[in-house]
Chains A and B, each alone.
Chain A
């Protein structure tokens, strides 16, 4: 086994505990997509092209409720905006790699990949610039293989899942812990409140525009509120 292969499998093995949550998520995505009428080929196609769990769920949900694929695409890509933060975080290390490696590894930059990057930085620090990309590739392919595998399982298992299980209700449930984890400052609670109220009042707007207006409005209000709170705290 070459050195590169060794580091590839090391990255793969070390990512395994992080992908436990990917399996039910992938099954859930595929099941919801099947419930909403997507064909198995299209479900797998979305998983391969997008490779972003939450955004895929939102995409199929919006397609089902909004009728416009363009607006669904617009809505789903907002979810992935957090990948910009991941991109900024890993860029210091990854910008030392060749362009080819940066392009390949960018595709795998998911929540799990970022978690691996932060938790396994000590091991990565002992590797040289030729070994590191293989190490990260192992991690990325680990998540990818489990995601695709669970998508396939979910696609065919869907036949066995009754509608009384309310699988589509899993979407708001999935995002609850993510919201709680994202609350960092006092003003963040106000952001959530503004977003929820705004969506409620704008729900009748066509193409789900209410969702996008709410996100923008809540973000801007939150930015101003947190800025004001921080100024108040620093003046004390």
Chain B
């Protein structure tokens, strides 16, 4: 897929993504949603979050490395960043720390 040359399918996918996102947000504000809101356990949506986020982290991590040295550096960065994320709970701090660490490790050819 070449995103530089947007196709009808790509633009259509963006519109579908936007529409589905809107439907999620509007779901319980629609007339049907108002009736459903008491029947669906919120617990299920809570479980979806850790499963989805972990899967994305793993997938993105696997997609991000090209060679074993690269894997080693990024894995170390990820492990240390878990600690920072746990201590700060801040997206901003975790990203700044993680990217700085990775940059430093790569420059030092660790």
Q: Hey, which bits of chain A sit against chain B, CB under 8 A? A: 20-21, 24-25, 28, 33, 36-39, 42, 45-46, 49-52, 55, 58-61, 63-70, 72-73, 76-88, 90-91, 94-95, 102-103, 106-107, 109, 164-184, 188, 191-192, 194-196, 198-200, 203, 208, 210-211, 214-215, 218-219, 222-223, 226
B62 sits at the interface (CB 8 A): yes
B109 sits at the interface (CB 8 A): no
User: A87 CA to B22 CA in the complex, in Å?
Assistant: 10
Q: Which residues of A contact B40 (CB under 8 A)?
A: 88
B89 sits at the interface (CB 8 A): yes
User: A173 CA to B61 CA in the complex, in Å?
Assistant: 9
User: A42 CA to B74 CA in the complex, in Å?
Assistant: 30
Q: Hey, which bits of chain B sit against chain A, CB under 8 A? A: 1-4, 6-7, 9-18, 20-22, 24-29, 33-34, 37, 40, 42-64, 74, 77-78, 81-82, 85-86, 88-92, 94-95, 98-99, 102-103, 106
Q: Is the CB of B22 within 8 A of A107?
A: yes
**Extra 9 A-B pairs, beta carbons < 8 Å, given A24-B92, A172-B64:** A39-B3, A49-B14, A49-B18, A58-B56, A173-B81, A195-B58, A196-B57, A203-B62, A215-B51
| Nearest-neighbor residue (CB-CB) of B29 within chain A | A102
Partner of B91, one of A70, A87, A168, A178: A178
Q: A82-B45, A173-B94 are in contact. Are A55 and B59 (CB under 8 A)?
A: no
Q: Which residues of A contact B20 (CB under 8 A)?
A: 73, 77, 80
Partner of B57, one of A38, A63, A179: A179
Most buried by B among A102, A107, A166: A166
User: A165 CA to B106 CA in the complex, in Å?
Assistant: 10
Q: Is the CB of B21 within 8 A of A50?
A: yes
Q: A42-B3, A102-B29, A200-B58 are in contact. Are A88 and B14 (CB under 8 A)?
A: no
Partner of B51, one of A72, A109, A191: A191
Q: Is the CB of B17 within 8 A of A73?
A: yes
Nearest Cβ distance between residue A191 and chain B, in whole angstroms?
A: 5
| Nearest-neighbor residue (CB-CB) of B2 within chain A | A37
User: A42 CA to B1 CA in the complex, in Å?
Assistant: 14
Q: Is the CB of B54 within 8 A of A91?
A: no
User: A24 CA to B34 CA in the complex, in Å?
Assistant: 36
Q: A95-B34, A211-B55 are in contact. Are A192 and B50 (CB under 8 A)?
A: yes
Q: Is the CB of B29 within 8 A of A69?
A: no
User: A76 CA to B7 CA in the complex, in Å?
Assistant: 18
Q: List 9 A-B residue pairs with CB atoms under 8 Å apart, sorted by A's residue number.
A: A59-B17, A84-B45, A87-B27, A170-B99, A172-B57, A173-B99, A177-B85, A196-B58, A211-B55
Partner of A81, one of B17, B34, B45, B61: B45
Nearest Cβ distance between residue A196 and chain B, in whole angstroms?
A: 5
User: A61 CA to B3 CA in the complex, in Å?
Assistant: 11
